[in-house]
Amino acid sequence: MGCETSSQAVHPAVIEHDRPSNRDNDWIKDAKCNDKQIVMVDCKALYEEQMKKPKAKHIQPDLSDQGDVEDRLQKLQMIIGSSPSLQIETFENWGETQAIQVISSSPTTKEELKKLVLAASEQGLRVRCAGTGHSWAPIFADSKQLLIYVKDMKSDYKDGSRIRISNRKKLEVDIMTGVTTGDFKKFQLKNKLHIPANVILDVVQMVSVVATGCHGVGKDANTPSDNVVKMRIIGSDGNLRTYASDDKEMMRAISANFGCFGVIFDMTIKLIPEVIVKVENRYMDLDDLFFNAENIQKLFEENWSIEIFWFPYNSLSLFDYNQKNDDVWIRVINKETNKVKTATETYYDWKEVKDYLTQEALAIMSPIIAGNPSLTPLYAWSTFGAIKNIIYPSGTQYQELPHAVHFRQYIEKAPVYDMEFAFDLKGDFHRLLKIIQVVVSKVDHYEEKDEYPLNIALEMRMMGYSDTLLCPGIIGNPAYGGSGHVVYIEILSVVDTKGWEKFCIDVAKEWMALDGVPHLAKQWDFIPGVEDHINKHMGQHIDAFKEQLTKSGADPNGMFLNKSIRKLLRL
């Protein structure tokens, strides 16, 4: 198994230890591993050498016709005046899958936003928005079109807040565009009002979570989009339109609209009273879970919320690596009805320190792993040891639900690649094992060739279905023959991982054959035949979405649709 680093950069030292670790000289060039020994690698030298190499840009913006984009900017600025300002920039999303030269602007008031949208419409520009750029799919602005940043948008609420309780009796809360999931978490804890499920990240914008049909976890929990009861959106005519739940069919389109109806100004979400949960960290042998239908069925059916993480290579040994010997980390969450003592501030302070240090370490190691793939198993093995014994040891905590949902901070420090599919559970756990084993077998296949395209984790979550038209969770909707439960499975690797797209395509082909549908905000656009596959499983919902879009009159000329969305919607 060859290592792709120079021998000068790798300085292994053999340290006596009580337990066996690596197998012979397979994992690192020139490093010998014997029983009761582990290998130490000079990561500092590797990092410094990696940083000297120019980073190969795998995504390149279109920089042609500079005069044309400058002319567009000048004309637009003349119409709107000095505020908000415009600039030409190369936008790159967090996951480093999209790079686009755009005209960008960051309006801060409703009036500026309305003026900007109307002027863009008059100039024939297409308009898209960006929150923190945490989507991977090509759902941002097209080249040389207008990209609007909304993070600094001020509200028009009388008290000047950006989150407020609009109806205490109905448990409804207004949330401005630009408000992050972290901001919302603090609001929930303070007001003892919770959203049933949400994403793990605490830095992404809540409106973006809703607009792209993102999900959380929980056996009877729907998506955040399903909790929206009202939304205000600025259409192509520059007017602020209000959409409410009294028009149910329109709301099914609006609640996860991918920006197709215009620029979202704010939304109203229905919450639930405070929920205290019991959170357990468990570890099981992979063989006992991913190859045992009875065990995985029991796990899902006996608990309210299950998150499963598999970090490949965590059982690295002196002998040939066998995935079945790996451990699987399971987060088990159940609602607690008894009066219990919840985790203290000291617990959260220490957790934040651990989250910061470990994500900083991943940020440092990511380019090393990407540039030196043969280090992946050793790194994964050592990292999982820290996860199991230090960061998330086996045990129980009682927490307010928002703490349990957003259990990991500083994820944004280390960008990753991410492909995710949704599957109707169908109550068939043997089929679920087939879905999981697609990834397990691919990891084995690639490892035999000394290739490591999956170098972080497989993550799996089960939830209820969705009723929003463009959310893949709708495939589990009983109204359309679904089982009422959806399993989301995603694979993650560090940015610039070699062979990532090929690995994803290999996995996706088999997942599509098992009726999986991709999460539309994550990576899917490079998968052959994926648009036809999405249309096969979600075509009736896409048609219903287009019908409501036309009915709304919000965008008669399609100024809010980029090329990728047009292709997806078949417009």
pLDDT digits (tens, 9 = 90+) for 186-200: 999 999 999 999 999
Q: Answer yes or no: is pLDDT of 13 > 80.
A: no
Q: Decide: 419 and 518 in contact? Cβ < 8 Å.
A: yes
Domain 163-273 belongs in CATH node 3.30.465.10: yes
Q: Answer yes or no: is pLDDT of 2 > 50.
A: no
Q: Mean per-residue pLDDT for 510-522?
A: 99
Mind listing the pLDDT tens digit for each residue in 114-129? 999 999 999 999 999 9
Q: Mean per-residue pLDDT for 20-37?
A: 35
Instruction: Give me the CATH topology for the region 66-149.
Output: 3.30.43
The end-to-end CA distance of the chain, in Å, is 49
pLDDT of residue 46: 62
Q: Answer yes or no: is pLDDT of 31 > 60.
A: no
Give the pLDDT band (50/70/90) at residue 53.
Answer: low
> Which of the 8 DSSP states describes residue 218?
B
pLDDT of residue 171: 98
Q: Answer yes or no: is pLDDT of 560 > 50.
A: yes
Please state, in angstroms and rounded to a whole number, the distance separating the CA atoms of residues 147 and 571. 21
Q: Decide: 387 and 37 in contact? Cβ < 8 Å.
A: no
- pTM for this entry: 0.90
Those residues whose C-beta lies under 8 Å from the C-beta of residue 193, and which sit 6 or more positions away, are: 165, 171, 173, 187, 271, 272, 273, 274
CA dist list (Å): 462 to 323, 479, 490, 513: 23, 19, 12, 20
Residue 88's Cβ-count burial label (10 Å; 0-12, 13-18, 19+) is middle
Please state, in angstroms and rounded to a whole number, the distance separating the CA atoms of residues 333 and 335. 7
> Which of the 8 DSSP states describes residue 154?
P
pLDDT of residue 357: 95
Structure tokens at 32: 């010998």
pLDDT of residue 58: 61
At 509, is the secondary structure helix, strand, or coil? helix
Q: Answer yes or no: is pLDDT of 377 > 90.
A: yes
The CATH number of the structural domain formed by 276-529 is 3.40.462.10
Q: Mean per-residue pLDDT for 169-181?
A: 98
Mind listing the pLDDT tens digit for each residue in 207-266? 999 999 999 999 999 999 999 999 999 999 999 999 999 999 999 999 999 999 999 999
Q: Decide: 438 and 387 in contact? Cβ < 8 Å.
A: no
Mind listing the pLDDT tens digit for each residue in 433-469? 999 999 999 999 999 999 999 999 999 999 999 999 9
Q: pLDDT above 90 covers what percent of the chain?
A: 87
Mind listing the pLDDT tens digit for each residue in 299-327? 999 999 999 999 999 998 766 889 999 99
Q: Answer yes or no: is pLDDT of 9 > 50.
A: no
pLDDT of residue 16: 36
Summary mean pLDDT of the chain: 91
pLDDT of residue 30: 31
Numbered ranges of CATH 3.30.43.10 in the chain: 66-149
Q: What are phi and psi of 283, to 5 degrees?
A: -130, 135
Q: pLDDT above 70 covers what percent of the chain?
A: 89
Please state, in angstroms and rounded to a whole number, the distance separating the CA atoms of residues 145 and 125. 6
Strand order across the 99-105 sheet: 86-92, 99-105, 146-149, 127-130
pLDDT of residue 67: 80
Give the pLDDT band (50/70/90) at residue 38.
Answer: very low
Numbered ranges of CATH 3.30.465.10 in the chain: 163-273
* Listed range (23-32, 402-411, 471-480) with the worst mean pLDDT: 23-32
pLDDT of residue 150: 96
pLDDT of residue 505: 99
Give the pLDDT band (50/70/90) at residue 64.
Answer: confident
pLDDT of residue 43: 60
Q: Which has the closest alpha carbon to 43: 368, 362, 354?
A: 368
Structure tokens at 246: 């009294």
Numbered ranges of CATH 3.40.462.10 in the chain: 276-529
- Composition of the chain by helix, strand, coil, percent to 5: 35, 20, 40
Q: Answer yes or no: is pLDDT of 1 > 50.
A: no
Please state, in angstroms and rounded to a whole number, the distance separating the CA atoms of residues 341 and 276. 10
pLDDT of residue 66: 79
What is the sign of the dihedral through the CA atoms of 462, 201, 113 and 260?
negative
Mind listing the pLDDT tens digit for each residue in 521-536? 999 999 999 999 999 9
Mind listing the pLDDT tens digit for each residue in 95-148? 999 999 999 999 999 999 999 999 999 999 999 999 999 999 999 999 999 999
Q: Answer yes or no: is pLDDT of 566 > 50.
A: yes
Q: Answer yes or no: is pLDDT of 50 > 90.
A: no
Q: Answer yes or no: is pLDDT of 35 > 50.
A: no
